[in-house]
């Protein structure tokens, strides 16, 4: 199963990001990695968290605009040229990466990249037979209690 990303709309003003983080903190939700895409007026906070469903509910309750999206989490070697090579697979299939960011920690001694595609299944097909390990949701959030 694909990794779920939690995204939130945040005004580009002092204190607004913190408000979102507090809601998650109060519910005991841990952020594994995050990235922010910003414009002059607002930003989109994108996070991989340990419980995206609970995070989504918590933000919604506080009237914070948010959504969940499937993203591709891919293990690559932590060596020069590895990311370059991985992108080759997508380019060959003419797949556009909407955006991407990295895990802050290594997994199994490898780097983890998060990719957002228009069609995630096509991206997975592109990687087939090339020896890549795609990180599953269960690998990140564990078995649902």
Binding site for another protein (CB under 8 A): 5, 7, 9-11, 16, 37, 39, 41-42, 44, 46, 60, 63-67, 69, 98-99, 116
Q: 6: helix, coil or strand?
A: strand
Burial class, 32, CB count within 10 angstroms (exposed 0-12 / middle 13-18 / buried 19+): middle
For residues 63 and 105, which CB has a smaller minimum distance to another protein in the complex?
63
Residue 44 Cβ, how far from another protein at the closest point, in Å?
A: 6
Residue 45 Cβ, how far from another protein at the closest point, in Å?
A: 9
Distance CA 131, CA 45 (A): 31
Q: Whose structure tokens read 């998060």?
A: 114
Which tokens hold the place of 113? 């990249």
Residue 131 Cβ, how far from another protein at the closest point, in Å?
A: 29
For residues 2 and 69, which CB has a smaller minimum distance to another protein in the complex?
69
């Amino acid at each position: 199963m694909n990794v779920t990303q939690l995204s939130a709309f945040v005004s580009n003003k002092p204190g607004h990001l913190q408000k979102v983080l507090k809601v998650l903190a109060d519910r005991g939700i841990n952020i594994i990695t995050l990235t922010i895409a910003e414009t002059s007026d607002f930003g989109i906070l994108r996070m991989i968290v340990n419980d995206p469903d609970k995070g989504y509910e918590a933000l919604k309750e506080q009237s914070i605009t948010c959504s969940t999206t499937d993203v591709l989490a891919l293990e690559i070697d932590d060596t020069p040229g590895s990311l370059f090579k991985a992108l080759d697979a997508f380019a060959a299939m003419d797949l556009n990466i909407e955006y991407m960011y990295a895990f802050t920690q290594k997994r199994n001694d490898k780097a983890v990249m998060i990719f957002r595609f228009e069609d995630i299944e096509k991206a997975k097909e592109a990687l087939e037979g090339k020896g890549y390990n795609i990180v599953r949701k269960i690998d990140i959030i564990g078995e649902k209690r």
